[in-house]
Amino acid sequence: MSSKNLFGGPRTLLIVAAVVIVIALVAAAATLIVRAVLGPPEGENKFEIEGYSVVQVDPQVSDLALATR
């Protein structure tokens, strides 16, 4: 197999690239249309855990803790 026809030639590569771009554009348009019709997603956030709070530690304290180990 020659390197010229490794991927089916330049015409085939162009067709594949065009199809991928068209599919991406159709998916983006469909997403925008659905968001416009239905609005933003609602409901509770799946990533928030009830009763859980984030504790921020001073960077100097954590560096000190690592240095003393």
- When the pLDDT of each residue in the chain is averaged and rounded to a whole number, the result is 76
**Percentage of residues in the chain with pLDDT exceeding 90?**
30
> What's the average model confidence in pLDDT over 3-21?
84
DSSP code of residue 63: H
Task: Give the structural domain span for 21.
Answer: 1-44
* 52 is a domain residue: no
Under 8 Å between Cβ of 4 and 10: no
What is the maximum alpha-carbon separation in the chain?
64
In a domain, 5, yes or no: yes
Q: How many domains does the chain have?
A: 1
Site of tokens 């659905």: 34
At residue 39 the predicted structure's pLDDT band, cuts being 50, 70 and 90, is confident
Q: Residue 17: inside a domain, yes or no?
A: yes
> 3-state secondary structure string, 9-26?
HHHHHHHHHHHHHHHHHH
- Residue 9: pLDDT band (50, 70, 90) is confident
Q: Is residue 25 part of a domain?
A: yes
Considering the domain boundaries, does residue 57 fall inside one?
A: no
* Residue 69 placed within a domain: no
> Is position 28 within any domain?
yes
Looking at per-residue pLDDT, the higher value among 9 and 19 belongs to 19
Asked if residue 2 belongs to a domain, the reply is yes
